Amino acid sequence: MGYDAPYAGLIMVDLHCHILPGLDDGSDSLDTSCRMAAIAARSGVRSIVATPHCNTRNELKNYRSEALTRAFRDLQAELDRWEIPVKILPGAEILVRSNFASLLEKGSLQSINDSQYLLVEFYFDEAPAFMEAQLSAAEGFGFVPVVAHPERYFCVQDNPSLAAGWFERGRVLQLNAGSILGTLGEGAYDAASLLLRWELAGAVASDAHDYRRRSPDLLPLIDALERRFPSLDPERLLRTNPQKILQNKPLR
Ligand SMILES: [Fe+2]
């Protein structure tokens, strides 16, 4: 089977994907990682930022390290060996907890492709004041926060204008494909729909964890975007903006 980008030749960047094997609750083996990459490639993805969970409470560290850098490289070598046309770029999905500022200070956090963009997530029931303080802390260290799946946080579901405030302060809102497709619950589906309608989304990514239930196939997403949000440009969310992030350029 070939890897021609099937949606009008659209070449995409997946900014958020748990494709590194064995580092978190995502891919469980090198074989799974290769299958995920092949599925992504068939849907038109050519660059995947590998974003293992970092700083979780159950001791998934995945801080910036030689070992992490080696994991990105090892997966790339395997994909090259199988001629799967995907470039793996370094990243991490950082769970923001009370130790966040000290991690920033120590330079422990892996940004997206070593740019100023930092992919951060929060506990789903996190308090908005804590989130605001920590986003500001990241900015104080020169980072631009990319907020992973804002539509999944209860405070945003209750009060979506909170996410509008983040957007206005220059943070990037990264929505999950699953939220838009309705596989991550009704609350996330409704909030994602609203954020898209308000044109607050900076990017959409797979947040894939495997190749079945949380898959890196972005074709169903493009389909849903076209059908439900015809005035939105999928290319901006899946290629242009993510590409700017990889190149460390401003989005607006
Ligand atoms: Fe994730």
Give me the residue spans of the domains in the chain: 12-246
The CA 142 to ligand 1 mean position distance, Å, reads 23
Return the residue matching tokens 């199988």: 82
Say how many Å lie between the CA of residue 214 and the centre of ligand 1.
Answer: 10
The answer to whether the CB of 192 falls within 8 A of the CB of 151 is yes
Which residues, 6+ apart, have CB-to-CB distance to 92 below 8 Å? Answer: 51, 52, 53, 54, 62, 63, 64, 68, 109, 110, 111, 119
The pLDDT tens digits of the residues spanning 51-89 come to 999 999 877 899 999 999 999 999 999 999 999 999 999
Distance 169 CA to ligand 1 centre (A): 23
The structure's pTM equals 0.97
Tell me what pLDDT residue 1 has.
Answer: 59
Cα(77) to ligand 1 centroid in Å equals 23
**How far, in Å, is the centroid of ligand 1 from the Cα of 147?**
11
Architecture of domain 12-246: Alpha-Beta Barrel (3.20)
Mean predicted confidence (pLDDT) in 175-188: 98
Ion ligand 1 residue ranges (Cβ < 5 Å): 93, 207
CA 48 to ligand 1 center in whole angstroms: 13
Spacing, Cα 53 to ligand 1 middle (Å): 7
pLDDT value at 237 more than 90: yes
Please, what sign has the CA dihedral across residues 199, 201, 204, 208?
Answer: negative
> What is the predicted pLDDT for the residue at 59?
77
Task: Choose among 102, 104, 78: nearest CA to 92.
Answer: 104
pLDDT at 239: 97
Residues in the chain: 252
Expressed in angstroms and rounded, the spacing between residue 141 Cα and the centre of ligand 1 is 23
* Interval between CA 204 and ligand 1 midpoint (Å): 12
